[in-house]
Amino acid sequence: MATWQRTEDPNLARLARLAGSLRTRGDQLLVLIVLLALWQGLSLAFGTYWVGSPWGVLTRLGKGVMSGEILRHASYTLLEAAAGFLIGALPAAALPFALRRLPIVTAILDPFMVGGYGAPKLALAPLFILWFGIGIESKIALVAITVFFIVYFSALAGVRALDPRLVQMAQVMGANERDVARHIVFPGAVPHIFTGFRIAMPYSIGGAVIAELISANRGLGYLVQLSAMNFDTTGVFVALVATTCIVFLGNWSVNVVERRLLRWRPRPDLDMQAGS
């Protein structure tokens, strides 16, 4: 019960944490080197025609970034993913709160939501291209619908995980329905919502890339498609590496916001989730 005592010497604790995180970083570097070596091995075994070499990919990536071409495609994909994420995730996070006092409506919607969650959304891409054209709208729509169901179920789990004793306590102290929603239900659900964001984030970028693969004239998915058609495997790898970088960027943004909002959670728990 003396957990607060570890704040007694903050410098020592910070130092220990830093040492721990450095060791993790070292191990991660090791894994990276092993993966790069495997890649290089595959490239040597099959030839760069089939598997672009790491070094070749890196130089092409550097050139692409310098010329601005990669950044142009990447920012286009990022824009689609971000817009789709916001359009899909925010209503999905809000809906369970709106439905909290309407359990019957929630129950009626449930099979449809489960269906929407389970349906392979990527198969909708051709349909969306038919409906919204080959421009940015069809990509945003695909990302939004992919993200929506993931976040909806996370937020729903958050609203359902509510501790009824906290609500009773607040009511005894004079809290009305709005106070309960604002001070108890919402903060309690935030960790669940962020779990949803964290899972949905790579899907949003994946969705954007897939939609571009099918039909586009810009974006990293288009770059993959173009390179593949030209039998340029290095080009494909360059686009994939760029995509991965965007996923990292997205993950990092989610972590930063989450850290800020969830300061009240025990730290080790947060560290484990944040992966640093």
Site residues, another protein (CB under 8 A): 1-4, 7, 165-166, 168-176, 179, 183-184, 187-188, 190, 263-266
**258 contact partners, CB below 8 Å, separation of at least 6:** 194, 197, 198, 270, 273, 274
The three-class DSSP label of residue 232 is: coil
Q: What are the tokens at 64? A: 């692409």
Min dist. Cβ of residue 178 to another protein (A): 9
125 neighbors 210 (Cβ within 8 angstroms): yes
Min dist. Cβ of residue 14 to another protein (A): 16
Closer residue to another protein, CB minimum distance, 31 or 263: 263
Min dist. Cβ of residue 275 to another protein (A): 21
Tell which residue, 122, 117, 186, has the closest CA to residue 148: 117
Q: What are the tokens at 106? A: 């929630």
Q: How far apart are CA 79 and CA 218, in angstroms?
A: 12
Q: How far apart are CA 15 and CA 34, in angstroms?
A: 29
145 neighbors 121 (Cβ within 8 angstroms): yes
Closer residue to another protein, CB minimum distance, 31 or 172: 172
Q: How far apart are CA 247 and CA 224, in angstroms?
A: 16
Min dist. Cβ of residue 4 to another protein (A): 5
Closer residue to another protein, CB minimum distance, 21 or 176: 176
Closer residue to another protein, CB minimum distance, 11 or 26: 11
Handedness of CA 211, 213, 218, 220 (dihedral sign): positive
Min dist. Cβ of residue 99 to another protein (A): 21
Min dist. Cβ of residue 262 to another protein (A): 8
Closer residue to another protein, CB minimum distance, 109 or 166: 166
Min dist. Cβ of residue 17 to another protein (A): 16
> What interhelical angle do 54-67 and 233-261 show, nearest 10?
70
Closer residue to another protein, CB minimum distance, 175 or 240: 175
148 neighbors 200 (Cβ within 8 angstroms): no
Which amino acid is residue 155, in one-letter code? A
Closer residue to another protein, CB minimum distance, 7 or 11: 7
Look at the chain and count its residues. Answer: 276
